[in-house]
């Protein structure tokens, strides 16, 4: 059945009339309506809810939109619906490769579900993180916090405003995605014990890092089980430079093996020890955490506890979008397993000559 001619329908010629507007300018639905010969209300229906106009009119409108290089403005679309089809992701340090796979995993999920990801960072600052979160909350449908530094009360306050999912931390009452460090750390400590190590140092991350404390607890428990002594050392920052700065403390600790909060600390520590003539792993074994891109580029390649970071990003985005569409859990923690990746930076300790 042919749709009758009304002001809301296309002319019978079936052709799109040429329009003088510059394609590079910001076209509106009124420009599309003029080009397609229909009302603006018809364009709005066709672009927002396909199927509410005839296939012939739909095609005319889509062709006109393509010729004008029309892009849907999510914020304009939000006016009647309250939804922007965007969500935010805040990471602790955008330069840290730890977050690369998290970002990619979240972005992949966003794209597959017709959402846009908006990225921000806290620069390891709780205050900066809270400010960024509040600003994003004004324009996005929901938020993912990756390794947040702000306190639990602030996270819960944000979650009362809009849906929030947390990665690398557990917050009561908020859905979380957390790598279970116990398996990977246990494998690492058992490997060190089998290679003759008796004293293990743990180089901690930032004081605000929930995950740093969980990793230290995991190291303590695994060392107790394997009858190794565990000592904790602090770092100034979770970076390569921070790792270099821990070298003196590591040597003074008497430990023959080191587990670090992340791979960047491990890489910096290895570089500084090697510059001082310490042979890795003959004199000291080093184990990082996360298995970031480039962890196997060092000499020797870095042994590390792998966290499934891409999976964490995908899972967090999925939980958030399911929640937004009314099909996901509003609380609870999803655990993902870690595993030891053995490379050349750990091994049997050689007896002193």
* Alpha-carbon span 23 to 38, nearest angstrom: 19
* One domain, residues 287 and 330: no
Asked if 61 and 72 count as a contact pair (C-beta separation under 8 A), the reply is no
What pTM was computed for the model? Answer: 0.77
In the numeric block, which tokens belong to residue 51? 């199927």
Q: Mean pLDDT throughout 104-126? A: 95
* One domain, residues 202 and 303: yes
Per residue in 144-165, pLDDT tens? 999 999 999 999 999 999 999 9
Residue that finishes a domain, picked among 270, 293, 308:
308
* One domain, residues 317 and 281: no
Per residue in 326-339, pLDDT tens? 876 667 999 999 99
Tell me whether residue 350 is in a domain: no
* One domain, residues 169 and 260: no
pLDDT band at 7 (very low <50, low <70, confident <90, very high): very low
The Cβ-side half-sphere exposure at 294, using a 13 Å CA radius, reads 12
> How many Cβ atoms from other residues are within 10 Å of residue 76's Cβ?
11
Range of the domain at 325: 86-179+309-336
Q: Which residue in the block uniquely carries the two structure tokens 């017709």?
A: 114
* One domain, residues 296 and 184: yes
Note the pLDDT of residue 75: 56
Per residue in 38-48, pLDDT tens? 888 888 788 76
């Amino acid at each position: 059945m042919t749709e009758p001619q009304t002001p809301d329908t296309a002319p019978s010629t079936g052709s799109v009339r040429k329009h003088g507007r510059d394609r590079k300018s910001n076209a509106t639905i009124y420009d599309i309506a003029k080009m397609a010969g229909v009302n603006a209300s018809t364009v709005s229906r066709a672009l927002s809810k396909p199927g509410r106009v005839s296939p012939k009119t739909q095609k005319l409108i889509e062709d006109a939109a393509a010729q004008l290089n029309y892009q849907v403005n999510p914020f304009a679309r939000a006016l009647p619906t309250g939804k922007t089809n965007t969500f935010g992701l805040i990471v602790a340090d955008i330069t840290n490769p730890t977050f690369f796979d998290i970002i990619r995993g979240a972005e992949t999920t966003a794209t597959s579900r017709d959402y846009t990801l908006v990225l921000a960072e806290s620069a390891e600052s709780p205050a900066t993180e809270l400010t960024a979160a509040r600003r994003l909350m004004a324009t996005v449908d929901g938020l993912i916090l990756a390794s947040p530094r702000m306190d639990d009360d602030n996270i819960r306050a944000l979650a009362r405003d809009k849906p929030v999912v947390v990665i690398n931390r557990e917050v009561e009452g908020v859905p979380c995605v957390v790598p279970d460090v116990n398996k990977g750390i246990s494998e690492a400590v058992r490997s060190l014990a089998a290679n003759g190590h008796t004293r293990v140092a743990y180089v901690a991350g930032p004081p605000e890092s929930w995950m740093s404390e969980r990793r230290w607890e995991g190291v303590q428990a695994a060392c107790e089980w394997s009858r190794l002594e565990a000592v904790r050392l602090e770092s100034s920052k979770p970076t390569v430079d921070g790792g270099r700065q821990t070298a003196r403390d590591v040597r003074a600790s008497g430990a023959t093996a080191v587990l670090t909060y992340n791979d960047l600390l491990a890489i910096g520590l290895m570089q500084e020890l090697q510059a001082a003539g310490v042979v890795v792993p003959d004199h000291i074994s080093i184990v990082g955490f996360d298995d970031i891109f480039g962890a196997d580029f060092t000499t020797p390649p870095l042994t590390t506890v792998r966290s499934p970071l891409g999976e964490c990003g995908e899972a967090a985005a999925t939980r958030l979008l399911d929640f937004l569409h009314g099909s996901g859990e509003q609380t609870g923690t999803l655990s993902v397993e870690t595993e030891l990746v053995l490379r050349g930076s750990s091994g049997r300790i050689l007896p002193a000559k």
